Amino acid sequence: MTNINLLAGSALTAIAALLHVGCIIFGPSWYRFFGAGERMAQMAAAGKLAPAILTGGIAAVLMVWSLYALSGAGVIARLPFVRTALCAITAVYLLRGVAGFVLAAVAPGERSVAFWCWSSAICLGLGALYLVGTRQAWSQLSPGAA
């Protein structure tokens, strides 16, 4: 049976990765639109490498996470440590979601409260997909499962 939760988590995580790549390609206006902060947008406008390196790193991590969700769903070959990786990815998404709401309330910094709330809701949603999907696939992800 297809694991819709991990498939949806994979697809949405891949979209997030592509949006990060879009920020690198399309520059300061995309950094601003997606809430990266004015400092990142200004560095990108000035041609600094730091925004592209940081954003590219995030995109790469998100693509790896997407692949792990596909692996957990049985769509691609079993990746190493898939069970551990899916648990860690789930935890990161859920912790980021909760932490973002806390930051929105106490110290939003140069990012808007709206950015923290929207991005946190997205992370909590993705964390929920990974949590439910990982739980559904748990027995197939055991070290002895074929």
| Three-class HEC string of 52-86 | HHHHHHHHHHHHHHHHHHHHHCCCCCCCCCHHHHH
| Domain spans, the chain | 4-141
Burial group, residue 85, by CB count within 10 angstroms (0-12, 13-18, 19+): buried
Tens-place pLDDT, residues 90-144: 999 999 999 999 998 888 787 888 889 999 999 999 999 999 999 999 999 977 6
What predicted TM-score, i.e. pTM, was given to this entire model?
0.93
